[in-house]
Amino acid sequence: MSGGSGSTSQRAGTHLETLAVHGGEPEAGYGGAVVVPVFQSSTYLVGEAGTPDQVRYIRWNNTPNHEVLHRRLALLEGGEDALVTASGMAAISASLLAVLQPGDHLVVQQSLYGGTFEFVWRFLPVWGVRVSWFDPVRPETLQVALEARTRAVLVESISNPLLEIADLPAVVEIARAAGVILMVDNTFATPVNFRPLEHGFDLVLHSCTKYLNGHSDLVAGAAVGSSELISSIRHKLMLLGGCLDPHACFLLERGLKTLVLRVRQQNRTASVVAGYLEKRSEVRRVFHPSRDGWGSPRGKAWFGGYGGMVSFELEGGGETAAKFMAALRIPKDAPSLGGVESLVTRPVITSHSSLKPEERAELGITDGLIRLSLGIEAVEDILADLEQAFAAL
């Protein structure tokens, strides 16, 4: 880090808990400050040497607030470099546009986050990229989907909203053998539960809006990978303009400090809640990787935990689901996820509303599906709340 702040801290430790708090912070601090302050300045002095790579500007994502985040996220995911962006969709769209050229072919998993689904199926084809899908539960379908012009494969480490974990070892083997760029949206897992770069993935994408920030008070994204890949995405992002505001950088860095504590508690709460729901007669089906028969055992072996999401389907469909959600007192009825407060939503009216009914049916997203994002409240209070909401049906 230039600009008089001295070198990056060498004392940042090696464990995730320590890296989340200190990773990438400047050794000497800024003006003696213990935390990295907000640098609310769009432009910076060029200095005596005056080379183009020393120019700092918010849209270039290279102010001190950006750079501490880049170093910290690279350390947390185990990548050479990282880039923060104005939203998760900015990270996903800029990465795909950096990797793909018109004429290329992209393979994606069948079920994707709603915004990503629309971007790859409605925008990329107009831009001259052909797209195919594969079923991550049957990785042999990936082999079939690959073509000579396939440039990249995009998967989600835990799918949304059905929380499936694919046979990721098979996906990595097939993609490596084909020499394509393997991209993974790791938003639901976080590096606390799964570090894809250690297992052969090339690029990790995040909506930092969710667990990485964890407080439902900003929108941000990130890409982590090799210096070469990140530098090409950085260049694309400078042109597309999806830079992260310094104040949002500051909040994201603060949120990251408690990432490990939050996610471990959310892992525990979600597993307990999934077990509770499975025993209720009002529940037709529970979707959570801790349940037997849900998710690939080979894929799950790469995970240290499954995050704070639980999806379930009630007997009685959409109307019963709406009634149940209205009766809940702790989880707020709102889209998004990964914050300290529990949220509950019906994917059919939020995250997957832009899909056609037949597209949703094919993915198994029914009108009665409820997606619960567990926060860090006491699990006893959550269970009591679910109990009284069932009683109100």
Closest approach of ligand PLP to the CB of residue 222, in Å: 10
* Residues at the contact surface with ligand PLP, assessed by CB under 6 A: 87-89, 113, 115-116, 156, 160, 185, 187-188, 207, 209-210, 219, 221
Q: Which of 220, 376 has the CB closer to ligand PLP? A: 220
Closest-CB residue for ligand PLP? 88
Active site residue 185: yes
Q: Which of 56, 71, 151, 210 is catalytic?
A: 210
Q: Which of 159, 296 has the CB closer to ligand PLP? A: 159
Closest approach of ligand PLP to the CB of residue 116, in Å: 6
Closest approach of ligand PLP to the CB of residue 149, in Å: 26
3-state SS of 184-212 is EECCCCHHHHCCHHHHCCCEEEEECCCCC
> 135 phi and psi, to 5 degrees?
-95, 110
Distances (CA, A) of 300 to 4, 5, 126, 135, 291: 45, 42, 36, 17, 11
Q: Which of 63, 87 has the CB closer to ligand PLP? A: 87
Active site residue 113: yes
Active site residue 138: no
Q: Which of 81, 104, 185, 202 is catalytic?
A: 185
Active site residue 262: no
Length of the chain, in residues: 393
Distance of CA 250 to the CA centre of its chain: 19
Closest approach of ligand PLP to the CB of residue 381, in Å: 25
Cβ burial 29-64 (10 Å sphere, 16+ → b, else e)? ebeeeeebebbeeeebeeeeeeeeeeebebebbbbb
Q: Which of 150, 207 has the CB closer to ligand PLP? A: 207
Q: Which of 44, 113, 211, 306 is catalytic?
A: 113
- Judge whether 95 and 331 are in contact, CB under 8 Å: no
In whole angstroms, what is the distance from residue 85 CA to residue 298 CA?
Answer: 32
Write out the catalytic residue numbers.
59, 113, 185, 210
